[in-house]
Amino acid sequence: MDSTAAQEGRERGRGEPGRSGLRERFAAVRRATLALAAPLSPEDQQAQSMPDASPVKWHLAHTTWFFEEFVLARADGGYRRFHPRFAYLFNSYYDAVGPRHERPRRGLLTRPSLAEVRGYRAAVDEQVLDWLAGGRATAAELEVLELGLNHEQQHQELILTDVKHALFQNPLRPAWREDLPGRSGERAPALDFVECPGGVVEIGDAGEGFAFDNERPRHRAWLEPFALATRPATNRELLAFVEEGGYRRPELWLSDGFATAKARGWEAPLYWEREGGGFVEFTLAGQRPLDLDAPAAHLSFYEADAFARFSGGRLPTEEEWEVAARGYPVAGNLAEAERFHPCAACASRGLAQLYGDVWEWTRSGYAPYPGFAPAAGALGEYNAKFMVSQLVLRGGSCATPASHLRATYRNFFYPDARWQFAGARLAKDLR
């Protein structure tokens, strides 16, 4: 591995991953991706419903290209690529690697076929596993491999959200999987708030285990006293916002948000449809009655912010969220539960549903932490080049693997994005 790649490895991860379990983890993550694609036909996996989404077939190939480009090709100077043009087709945004196919046109890539893409995955998997079994990998190379596994877990969630958006375009409202569990039967606990004293706090990765570079360096921040809601906002509460004209009240919205809502005809959260005087909701299991006790999902930042103002609160900052979340385990309605839809939680003490169900919008812009420096080389583009015009989300969703999350994790999207499992947790100032 060359010195640039080794530096990338040092910058991207923390410590040396455990060698004994890395082969098993690699195989498990790669199997999990294929399992998500298994219920879909080749036609389903070819569809691209909007420029922000990608076909499942492309996700399968891109995550494979990542390991080929950043692991195999850099660990072995004589490595022979599976196909000389796949780097052009399946590079996402790494300008330092070379030119690439336009993102909005990924759905036009009818070739290679799905079978050929699966063959590509199998070939790269075999070579990665052989490389790991050889015992010659350096600590820096293993850190890049760990980055690739976390990268693939991000794409596992994108496969689900992109497929859901694509299936919703079909008037038949077909299901990804009809056997998914229905509502939990729980009643959402009454909304309350947990007070936090504020003061000087430390934010960011402390250097134990894997973390993305955008979670570092750890630094100090000042927080005024605040309170955070004990759970995310529910569909019942969003329904009140809808029925009381929330989408037509400019005093509740940021100017850009209100203009966006009007231009795009937003009248309710994405996937809500009126039926019989009420609403039904499209899910990965098809059309289902709206569960009023479940956390509201598929909200843009603009909608979450307007709802918070309607409710007499605000969205938290990412620093507030992180401080409040400390001490809570990464547990809940996550991908391993295989519900793949938010559900109401049992009443509990303290903060509930911090992890899983829905990503929670914060009002913090996605920006570098003080002292941040991106990795050298192409992998420095992973996060740093997007640190403008986006907002941070925290906590994970019903489609996020538990092993992918921690309190310092920073997700980010543009404020008008609605197709992710994103919701809102209220905060308020204590004066």
Q: What is the pLDDT of residues 113-146, one digit of tens each?
A: 999 999 999 999 999 999 999 999 999 999 999 9
* Same domain (yes/no): 343, 252: yes
* Same domain (yes/no): 212, 359: yes
* Same domain (yes/no): 78, 157: yes
* Same domain (yes/no): 112, 161: yes
Let me know if residue 185 belongs to a domain. no
Let me know if residue 117 belongs to a domain. yes
Let me know if residue 174 belongs to a domain. no
* pLDDT at position 183: 87
Nearest to 305 by CA among 165, 207, 415, 222: 415
Let me know if residue 187 belongs to a domain. no
The residue from 151, 168, 185 where one domain ends is 168
* Same domain (yes/no): 150, 277: no
Let me know if residue 384 belongs to a domain. yes
* Domain of residue 128, CATH code: 1.20.120
- How far apart (Å, rounded) are the C-alpha atoms in residues 137 and 130? 11
Domain ranges, residue 388: 193-429
* Same domain (yes/no): 246, 158: no
Let me know if residue 182 belongs to a domain. no
**Tens digit of each residue's pLDDT (9 = 90 or more) over 20-53:** 689 999 999 999 999 999 999 999 999 999 999 9
> Can you give the three-state secondary structure of 149-180, one letter per residue?
HHHHHHHHHHHHHHHHHHHHCCCCCCCCCCCC
Q: Say whether pTM exceeds 0.75.
A: yes
* Same domain (yes/no): 281, 160: no
Rounded CA Rg of the chain: 22
* pLDDT at position 19: 67
Q: How many domains does the chain have?
A: 2
* Same domain (yes/no): 210, 335: yes
* pLDDT at position 376: 87
* Same domain (yes/no): 111, 215: no
- How far apart (Å, rounded) are the C-alpha atoms in residues 188 and 271? 21
**Tens digit of each residue's pLDDT (9 = 90 or more) over 150-164:** 999 999 999 999 999
* pLDDT at position 207: 85
Let me know if residue 324 belongs to a domain. yes
DSSP structural state of residue 377? S
* Same domain (yes/no): 335, 270: yes
* pLDDT at position 168: 98
- How far apart (Å, rounded) are the C-alpha atoms in residues 46 and 105? 11
* Same domain (yes/no): 231, 147: no
With H, G, I as helix, E, B as strand and everything else as coil, classify residue 3.
helix
Nearest to 410 by CA among 392, 428, 397, 422: 392
- Which parts of the chain sit beneath pLDDT 70? 1-20
* Same domain (yes/no): 156, 209: no
Let me know if residue 345 belongs to a domain. yes
- How far apart (Å, rounded) are the C-alpha atoms in residues 129 and 25? 11
CA dihedral 240, 243, 244, 249 (to 10 degrees): 110
- Round to the nearest angstrom and report the end-to-end CA distance of the chain: 55
